[in-house]
Amino acid sequence: MSSILNITNGDSAVGLMQKAQLPGDFLPWRDVLHEGPVPKDLSLDELSKVRAEYIAGQGWGNFNSVHQNFKERDLQLKSSTEYDKIILWFEHDLYDQLQILQILDWCSQQQGIKDSLSMICTDNYLGEQTTEQVQSLLVHEQKVTDEQLRLARTAWTAFRDDTPKPWQQLLEADTAVLPYLNAAVLRLLQEYPSGMNGLSCTAQKALEIIAGGESSPVKIFVRYQMTEEQRFLGDASFWNILNSFLDVHTPLLKLSKGKRLEMASIADQRLTITDTGKAVLAGEKDWLGMQELDCWIGGVHLSPGNLWRWDQVTHSLSKITN
């Protein structure tokens, strides 16, 4: 067995690292943890099944194949104790920061693994680097500390809690040992429904871009990506948000062809905002009153009996009481 295991955020990064001829084996961590259920009190294996069910439910893969990929991933992670060195290669954005928390939380519970654990985490998007740039990132390798493991375990537990308060409390905590965590905590909180109109931060940006005159779904996504200080959202997730504005009794958007955005025809489809969409953007109508919310953020299941709103001014959450 190779003496080095490189764990990173996906297949694109793995391919580039292999092209750069970095030594060792490679483990891509394929999961969009900022979407769908990540409930507490589940083992790694149990959580992987829940995640596979969610991903399959989004139409992003067949359950059996996705679940098998997760099982193989988990098995390779469990074998990491046999390596001389484990290097975590990750980025600064929300997508990667949640993956770091999950992996470090698991590592914190393993005997004899800490001494072999190191991390390379910068504000460079791995998939956009040249092979030479990837090789140069090795100078940023640092040993994972006890403080980082403890913080990761605290944050991962908070993320999976069934209320968002522990996650919100991380904003006031000292998270300097994981320097990109604070921004990730805030960005996830911004995905809760806004107190002004019920829209998440991403949904608000999407509607603003369309209201500004952009109609091409692909260009809307590109422009949305430019609004993020740390890009984290994939296009399939973005289409789901736009489709939610089409799949309601009084749509916020109008589509030129078909009833939903479809990858096969997305290049020929065009979007425009409706009067209702403009009213929601202006805060004159509430998106939460126009559909029955049923989604997860970490361990929090947002539903009619468990709705939370985010106040961007005070940086606080409040639960909606009937």
Could you give the residue range(s) of every CATH 3.40.1360.10 domain in the chain? 4-162
Determine how many CB atoms are found less than 10 A away from the CB of residue 180: 20
Written as six digits, the tokens of 194 are: 């806004």
Q: Write the pLDDT tens digit of every residue in 124-140.
A: 999 999 999 999 999 99
Compute the half-sphere exposure of residue 119: CA atoms within 13 Å on the CB side of its CA: 23
Domain 201-292, CATH among 1.10.10, 3.40.50, 1.10.15, 1.25.40: 1.10.10
Written as six digits, the tokens of 69 are: 């990929």
Looking at the chain, the whole-number percentage of residues with pLDDT higher than 70 is 99
Parallel, antiparallel or unpaired: strands 85-90 and 117-121: parallel
Q: Is the pLDDT of residue 2 over 70?
A: no
Could you give the residue range(s) of every CATH 1.10.10 domain in the chain? 201-292
Give the contacts of 85 (CB within 8 A, at least 6 positions apart).
Answer: 3, 4, 5, 24, 116, 118
Question: CA dist 285 to 252, 303, 307, Å?
Answer: 11, 19, 17
- Angle of helix 181-189 relative to helix 146-160, nearest 10 degrees, comes to 10
Q: Write the pLDDT tens digit of every residue in 23-67.
A: 999 999 999 999 999 999 999 999 999 999 999 999 999 999 999
Q: pTM for the full model?
A: 0.96
User: Under a CB-based contact definition with an 8 Å cutoff, are residues 299 and 41 in contact?
Assistant: no
Fold held by 4-162: Dna Topoisomerase Vi A Subunit; Chain: A, domain 2 (3.40.1360)
Mean pLDDT of the chain, nearest integer:
95
